[in-house]
Amino acid sequence: WEWADELPPPRPSLPASTDVKELIAQATRPGDADKRVEAVNALRAMGPKARPAVPHLVGLLDDPNDRLRRAADAALEAIGPPA
């Protein structure tokens, strides 16, 4: 299919919410690690707008789940240093 080369790459699915407080709640809620990582990745995608999540993301750096720790680290980097 020639037209298939013209399609953009698939976008990762992100939680429907773009509300920082809701994403923080999803990221810190015990349970499904995949959903928690998705929420953290959504916060990362928001960049500096997700600054209120920083203390919660720092707390996730001690989580036993390696994927969640790495996602939190990447989110903190994307949010950037405090103003």
Summarize pLDDT for 10-37 with one digit per residue, the tens.
Answer: 445 555 567 999 999 999 999 999 999 9
Q: Mean pLDDT over residues 45-71, rounded?
A: 96
Q: What is the pTM of this model?
A: 0.78
Q: Which positions ≥6 away from 69 have C-beta within 8 Å?
A: 60, 61, 62, 63
Least confidently predicted of 1-10, 11-20, 44-53, 68-77: 1-10
> What is the Cα–Cα distance from 8 to 44, expressed in whole angstroms?
21
Q: pLDDT-derived band of residue 81, with 50, 70 and 90 as boundaries?
A: confident
Q: What H or E segment, with its residue span, contains residue 70?
A: helix 66-79
Give 71: exposed, middle or buried? Use CB within 10 Å, 0-12, 13-18, 19+. Answer: buried
Average pLDDT over residues 31-58: 95
